[in-house]
Each structure stands twice: as C-alpha cells, then as structure tokens.
Chain A
C-alpha cells in the first residue's frame, strides 16, 4: 500500500459502560480501497469500537478524523453523511416493509418520494456488484442471507465509501460466504474501504489486505495480511499461543443415557430445524456438538429439555436399571416429576436461564421454588446456595441481593452454571458455556464440566471454539443444516476434518 493519507483515522478512543471499559485508547487507520479485518476474541471490544464510528455510541474520549478532518459522530445519520455505513450483526430491517422501503428509509434528499426510481437504482447497484435482491419483497419473507444483502445494498445506496461489516459470515453458508466475499472484492475494486469484524482466522487470511487486532478493548497491532500467518495472528489475538491444556480423562464405564432417534423439529414457520437426528449421549462422557451457530444446536438441546414441539422421532432417557423413558411430549416439569434431573445451561442466559431483574438468591430459586412447604417457597435454601456458588465459583457481585442483570457476562454465566450443577444432574447440557467469558472464567467452566463427567453425568457440550471441543470432548457430533454431518472421536479428530463437516454435509468421507 502506498503511503497515502488515511480515509478514516481514530485517535485514542475510549468508551466506557459504567465501570466497564470496552475500549481503551484505541488508535486505528483505514485507507481507501482496502479491506481491513478487525480481529479479536468475543468481548474484545471490536463491535463497540465500530459502533462508535457508526454513531451508535459516543466515545468518552478520543477523536475521529475522516479525510483528515476531525468529526463528531453523534448519530448514525452523521455517520452516513460522512460516507460511513455499518452492517450490524442483528439486521436493522423492518419486517413489515419491503426491501426498497427499507433501503430508502431515513434517506435525506430533496427529491420526490419515488419507490420505483429507488427500485431502479437498487437494481443498478445489484448489477454492478453482483447482488440478487427483489426491491418489492417484504423482509419477513426473506432468508438471512437475503436480509444481509438488503443491508449491504442499503449502505451502498447511501453512497457509503467506508463499509463496516460486523461478523457477516456468522449466519451464512459457505456458498453464501463465498458470494459475499466476491461482492466485497468488487467493492474494493471500486475504491471502497471495508472493515470486516471477525474472529475467524481463515476468513481474515482469505479476504483482507490488513489485519488490526484488539484484545480486551485495547489495540494490539496491525499486520499486512500477506505477511501474517495463523500463529502470529492467534498469538496477538489471545495474548499467548493456544495451548489449552484442558484436562481430559478417559471415561469410566460409559453407559447409554440419552438416545435420540430420528428426531425432526420444525419452527413456527414450518421450516425444518432438525432433520432426522440420531445419536446417543453416555454417562461419564462429554459429547461435544460442533457446528456454525444456528444449525440446529438450540433446537436440539431444547428438544431434550422438553421445550420444543417435536414433529417426529423419539428421545429416550435410560434409567439406572436399564429401563427407558420417552421424553418426547414432556415438559420440563413433567421431566422433573419423573425424577430425572436434567440440567440445561441455555445460550440466552438472561433471556431464558435466569431472570435479569431478580437477585442471585431468587434466581437460584428458579429450580427449587416448588420445594417449599405448602403454598410457600423455601427462601433459605436458595440463599445459601447462592452464597455457596458465589464462594466456590468466585462470582464477583456486590451482594446476594444484587439483580443478576447488573453482573458482568462471566459472572452471570457462573451463577447459571453453578445453579444447574448444584442440582446434581444426571444429564448436563450447556450451550456456548464460555461465550463472552475471559480465559480464567472459561477454565473454571471447563473444570466444572469435567467434574460432572467424573461424577458419571452425561454431558452434552455445545461449543463454537473448535480447539476447546477437540481438547475437552470425548466424542464430537457435528451438525450442519439441522442434520448430523458426522460423529468423531474427540481424541482422534482434527480441526480441518471438523471444520469441513461443519460447512459441508458429511465433510470428508470418514468412519
């Protein structure tokens, strides 16, 4: 790259949320016609930093320069006016409106309101970069990838020169990702600058010209992609080489505990979320479930927990004495009433596993409130349990009476996992148990899961970090598009193999 002046420059940006510092003293430059990858772990402050450029947050300290001039970006509109457009991870589209209506939304021009003209311009943009959008289609009829396309067209329609994409591939199939990357390359050719937020190294290497790395809210370094290698990027991202050293003992006397046969689940729109799933979870074993998020993991765990309406298939629970119980058609209360202790750490902690506005003790009570005498809840036991969890898992909280939503992500997760494990389950299911947690907390969670395994619990561990899955799990089930793409031995599987299976049904021929 020539020594040109940057089109966008951040100087000493600091953004705090209360006592938490999301970004500290970050400085960054973006040049015209380049694709910059912003790399960092979950929670490293990538999205917050970009939101500050896009006008969603206003940074407490620091300056932003566009084309060499200092600017103050107070709203997304200011950002658009400066030619900056961001495609958020959660699409900002309005369901009941059409693509064209969404695209012209918020547009400031003096011309008459004319959806037809807008439609023509949209088609023109689509032809130029190779998109496929029907301007008149309503958003609620669109697939995820179509919605993303609408988002990108929206930004281009506004004449953005700097595009920010927040983890755009997280929701895409490999083919869709490839298509997206082609479009991004076309835009680069056209002189646009693109910032792509990601934590996937292969994508960084494939698409970007330069990588900037954030760690714990701080700017670490930036490297030309052509000079970077995986090891170097990983080191910069996590701070030390990834040698996880998670303890993994050989399972003791595994017995079948949960047998899933031909399980098929549809969502409320009638889309098949799980197709003919078969597998078995065994006692004293950790069964890892790998897959790109949104490929049926949530539905699978919720089916076992009795929270999903099941189309066909059976889920059997094997008792100590070898007899089997059908779990299909049960709800969580019936499952508990049958004497089965099934612990479940769902993905959406404050939306499903916990009640954000209740304190720690009351959240402990979620599992035990039926235990009290007669009409009343027993409030003493949950309080003691909360104290115990706080002590054993080193939860950082002002008090037991603090509302859970006021805790940080890692502490919320400890509260949830602590409660679920305290029930002394026979089956433990966790979804993305370490998402958003720092390294230390993650290890505490691995350790807890391993302890449950040693107790003879059948553990089902849904994860996104392949390195962890490969070091923690005894067996790995790979999901792709709602189907079982393959099942591997955790000790023998390699990362490429799992990666392939995640993106392509069946992956490489194996077993």
Chain B
C-alpha cells in the first residue's frame, strides 16, 4: 500500500507527521507492505496511486504558500474524494478545500472549491482549546486539541459534534467537514495516534476489513487517560 504525506515539511506544526506513522504501523500490523512518500511544494505526484493521503497544519503564511501550490492537484483531489479515497486533513489544511480563505488583512484567496464553505482569519486572538468531539460513526468520543485563528462558515455537514472545545465558528456545535472518505478537522497534531478507534476506523476503510489491533496498548491507555482528564474538566466547567 502507498501512503502520501503531502507538504510534510511545511504543514507539520504540532507533531502532525505522527498520523502517517500511526497509519503505516496499523497497516503493516495488518499484513500489508506499506510505502510512504513524503512530498512537498513543487513535487510531481499522482494522487490516484495512493491508498491514504494526509496533510497537516501549518502557519497562516505557510498555508497560503501551499494554497498556491495545491491548485494543480484540484481536479485530482476532486476525483479522489468522489472515488472514496481515504484522506485526512488536520488543522488549517482543511481550509484549503473550501471556497475562499480570507487573511487577517482582508485579502481573499481562492480555495480549491471542493466545498462551499469559507474561512476567515483574524490576528488578535489565538483560538485554542482541548477538545472532546462526538461522531456518529465511532463508539467513543475523540480527544485532541484545536489551535487556530480562523472561523469557517457554511459547513452543512460537519464531521464532529463539539462536546468540549471549539466548533467551526463561534458557538457552532459542528466541527470539521466530511464528504465520502475525506475527513477534515481543526484538531491539530497526532489525531490518529491519540484516537486509536479513529485510526482503526480509517484503516478499515482502506483495507475493506477489520485491521489488526496488535501493539496498540499504549495508545489505547493514553486515550483513556486523556478522555477521563477532559471529562473531569467538562464536569468542572458545567458546575
């Protein structure tokens, strides 16, 4: 199998690269031979040959640089999305997929237009929060961290339901975006490493069967500790 970590060196702000390590390991443990390509600005790439594509989060400036570069993949990405390829976009990388991104100075950049939503940045307050998100396709919640300066408006089918943390904009209870097997979320960092059940779910979509759960004891235990910490936090905030 082939995995693609796209913009690995410029969109990799919070340990996002570990998502690819986690996917590589679970597929290998499931008996697959796995090859990982790390590509970046200006690299040639045939997206259709990959089984999993990942892009992580970057600074606002880096995201704009990537936005210019990724345009050449627009139609390929659309085909991948429509064809059900498993793709994960963490942090502000999923904003690339929308209609526009407006920076803090009001400059409007065209997005890839795979979705109709718009993103608007500001430079006054960094919006950060620990997160507990629910979703219909998993038995347990997800945990993680949101670290952004933008609001996304116009997402009709969000990926997650916010139980703790930040939604797509203001008091929005919806977070992220999903279409087919494309998953976009403002959760940053090693989302798949931190949420083994989400990793298992994505791996099962790639494999069309249940993956092996060997060697996941630490990540599973780590998830439980964080979930329990965050739930304590939620109770505190509700009281």
| Chains A and B belong together in one complex | no
